[in-house]
Amino acid sequence: MTAKKLLILPGDGIGQEVMVQVRRIIDWMAKKRNIHFEVSEGLIGGSAYDVHGTPLADETLADAMAADAVLLGAVGGPKWDDLPFEVKPERGLLKIRKEMGLFANLRPAVVFDALADASTLKTEVVSGLDIMIVRELTGGLYFGQPRGIETLPNGERKGVNTLTYTTSEIVRIGRAAFDLARKRNKRLCSVDKANVLECTVLWREEMIKLQQTEYPDIELSHMYVDNAAMQLVRNPKQFDVMVTENMFGDILSDCAAMLTGSLGMLPSASLGAADANGNRKALYEPVHGSAPDIQGKDIANPLATILSFAMCLKYSFNMDHEAEMIETAVKNVLKGGLRTADIMAPGKAKVSTSVMGESIVRELDKLN
């Protein structure tokens, strides 16, 4: 088997520090499990602007297109706040997502047993929570035409955004979600607003067709988005995989993230279309940003990025076993009482970014 190509883009702020901890795991996999990646590293965001005058150089984009997967830290920071819009660090991230055609955004919300008391909800509502929200990322209300603000003949102004989906756009996000459901617990909830919005009537029809023709083994249910928001807060454990429109997913995934109570723990994946060999473009990154306020202090939580790497192993490299080892290592280290500052609780041992990374590797050694 040829080595998988992994492009690492640490980016700015704590992105650099947390990525060092993933490097430890990559080294460990080479030494202890004889799994080798072809790893290259590049610049994105403000650190790319400082060198190339652009937040995403063409060569870096070409490397991303040629890689089997991209692992990204975070972009942005006060140093680049006053740059013109086109070269802001965040533009680099938007550009790479768009150029790679990453239409499926996967956001797991997992509550680790040891952290169940970190949520703002009652422990029994969230303990054991493990759901996956699949958000359509390149269509829907955020991209539909016509859009803009116009002035009417009577002088009034009118703002317009349009919710559009073609059947092919619905089917490809549907397949991504059904495939995931198949890898998990074979249940998928499609979230729409089919009682009001025609576009989502089409969405629902296509999801039903897909289930009947390609995924008869998956249990498909439907929910209106307003109810889904309520149910996520009332009884989130009823869900397994959810699939939904761009803006609905934006809102629901932030809501689900808060159920877990800790930004520093949340990974994500963004997937593109599969090629003839079934390989898809993919980018993995923590949900949190560059956190300039804690940059360089060795206190950032590296677990969101480490868990993003585990998602990469699972969804891009077919290394489910190693992915689960990493997830178990994270669980065990938390159970053992180690905490970075952001998830600190009374009676636990506060550790630095690097000690957390080392502890994960030590735990992997035990599990190996």
Contacting residues toward ligand ATP, per CB under 6 A: 14, 74, 76, 263-264, 288-291, 293-294, 300-301, 304, 342
Q: Are 246 and 136 in contact (CB under 8 A)?
A: yes
Structure tokens at 59: 């060569």
207 alpha carbon, distance to own chain's centre: 23
Least distance to ligand ATP from the beta carbon of 15, Å? 10
Q: Is the peptide bond before 153 cis (omega within 30 degrees of 0)?
A: no
Beta carbon of residue 294, minimum distance to ligand ATP (angstroms, whole number): 4
79 is in an annotated binding site: yes
User: Which residue's CB is nearer to ligand ATP, number 316 or number 340?
Assistant: 340
- Give the C-alpha separation, 42 to 56, whole Å: 9
Least Å from the CB of residue 364 to ligand ATP: 20
CB-based closest residue to ligand ATP: 289
Cα 325 off chain centre by: 19
> Is 250 or 342 the residue whose CB approaches ligand ATP more closely?
342
Catalytic residues: 142, 193, 226, 250, 254
Instruction: Yes or no: say if 120 and 258 are a contact pair by the CB < 8 Å rule.
Output: yes
To the question of whether residue 297 is assigned a binding role by annotation, the answer is yes
- Whether residue 87 is annotated as binding a ligand: the answer is yes
**Which residue in the block uniquely carries the two structure tokens 């940059």?**
295
- Provide the minimum distance between the beta carbon of 304 and ligand ATP in the complex, in angstroms, as a whole number: 6
Three-class DSSP category at 294: helix
Closest residue by Cα to residue 242 from 102, 112, 121, 108: 108
Please, which residue, 77 or 174, has the CB nearer to ligand ATP? Answer: 77
Question: Phi and psi dihedrals of 147, rounded to 5?
Answer: -150, 160
Nearer to ligand ATP, 199 or 356 (CB): 356
Task: Give the sheet arrangement for strand 267-274, strand by strand.
Answer: 37-41, 4-11, 69-74, 280-286, 267-274, 104-110, 130-136, 241-244, 187-192, 219-224
Per the annotation, binding residues for Mg(2+) are 226, 250, 254
Per the annotation, binding residues are 77-90, 97, 107, 135, 226, 250, 254, 289-301
